[in-house]
Amino acid sequence: MKTITVDDSQPVVNMVLRHLRELYPEAEHIGFTAAEEVAEYAENNSINVAFLDVEMPGMSGITLAKKLQSINPGTNIIFITGHEEYMRDAFSLYASGYLVKPVTKEDLKDAMEHLRYPVETKKQKRVRVQCFGSFETFVDGRPVHFGRSKSKELFAYLVDRRGAACTPEMIIGNIWPELPPTESLKTHLRVASYEMINAFGELGITGLIIRERNNMWLNTEMFDCDFYDYLAGDEKARNSFCGEYMTQYEFAEDTRAFLQNKNL
């Protein structure tokens, strides 16, 4: 879900954005102080909800609303103003709501719950994986503590493999590339995999890591991941990629190069 807030007062924009980000942290919220910039933005970006100040210099919120609806009739328009006399004009455009300043978080929540064109939002999973930039894993919004660095690197490698089954030899060749797959190293791998599974188990996450017939892989349906969203064409994930992918791991070089070439 994407919302925009348009008001010629930067403090008002900041206030609305702060409330929306607290209410809907999984969505993308963007602010503007010039109405003229918004029409151009809307031509190239899908907008689900637009919070518009009615009185703005240059282009009024009513005029901007008409432009947004001509671009995408399914855009929800919610007017924000300090004057109630514009209410008739607002509702003649089939607006989803009309809020009088000062707007509270409760006002915004109520307006979002009564949209004319309901927005389907992606239900967040308990586990979220961040691949862009430095690799990190979160459960319920808090970083996962793996105990040792190789347990975290092992999980990162399995994420990079996107659910493909991995043998011990494959894993060792990637996270211990300088060493042969000796029995001693296989023991280190077993310890790392135990600590990895235990790190999630202590947080109530089971079934994420699958081991069968000496192979290991992930149930990719159990977690959200910016890398996977990027490959699925998600706009927010595409915008968040700045050329960096699992920066702390050598095994990620091939995927990193693939993404950089794809992003050209």
Beta bridge partners of 137: 129
> How many angstroms separate the CA atoms of 227 and 136, rounded?
12
Q: Is residue 253 part of a domain?
A: yes
Residues 6+ apart with CB under 8 A from 113: none
Is 139 in the same domain as 251? yes
Percent of the chain with pLDDT over 90: 64
Is 13 in the same domain as 99? yes
> Does the pLDDT of residue 263 top 80, yes or no?
no
State residue 147's pLDDT score: 87
Q: Is residue 32 part of a domain?
A: yes
Is 8 in the same domain as 95? yes
Tokens linked to 64: 């901007």
The single-letter code of the amino acid at 28 is E
Q: How confident is the model at residue 262 (pLDDT cuts 50, 70, 90)?
A: confident
Is 255 in the same domain as 138? yes
> How many angstroms separate the CA atoms of 8 and 62, rounded?
14
State residue 97's pLDDT score: 82
Q: How confident is the model at residue 117 (pLDDT cuts 50, 70, 90)?
A: confident
Is 131 in the same domain as 84? no
Query: What CATH number is given to the structural domain containing 155?
Result: 1.10.10.10
> Does the pLDDT of residue 121 top 70, yes or no?
no
Tell which residue, 12, 67, 54, 6, has the closest CA to residue 32.
6
- The whole-number average pLDDT for the span 105-132 is 87
- The whole-number average pLDDT for the span 86-93 is 56
Is 243 in the same domain as 217? yes
Residue 174 φ/ψ region, left for φ over 0, alpha for ψ in the -120 to 50 degree band, beta for the rest: alpha
φ, ψ dihedrals at 159, nearest 5°: -60, -45
The domain total for the chain is 2
* Cβ count near 186 (within 10 Å): 14
> Does the pLDDT of residue 91 top 60, yes or no?
no
Cis preceding-peptide flag for 102 (omega within 30 of 0): yes
Least confident of 48-57, 112-121, 196-205: 112-121
Q: How confident is the model at residue 204 (pLDDT cuts 50, 70, 90)?
A: very high
- Using DSSP, state whether 56 is helix, strand or coil: coil
> How many angstroms separate the CA atoms of 174 and 176, rounded?
6
State residue 86's pLDDT score: 55
- The whole-number average pLDDT for the span 167-188 is 92
- Using DSSP, state whether 138 is helix, strand or coil: strand
Q: Tell me the per-residue pLDDT of 220-256, one tens digit each, with 9 for 90 and over.
A: 999 999 999 999 988 778 888 999 999 999 999 999 9
Is 136 in the same domain as 95? no
Q: Is residue 121 part of a domain?
A: no
Is 94 in the same domain as 21? yes
Is 169 in the same domain as 94? no
The boundaries of the domain holding residue 149 are: 127-262
> Does the pLDDT of residue 89 top 60, yes or no?
no
| Domain final position from 112, 138, 167 | 112
Query: What CATH number is given to the structural domain containing 105?
Result: 3.40.50.2300
Q: How confident is the model at residue 95 (pLDDT cuts 50, 70, 90)?
A: confident
State residue 43's pLDDT score: 86
| Domain final position from 112, 142, 159 | 112
DSSP string, 11-22: HHHHHHHHHHHH
State residue 25's pLDDT score: 83
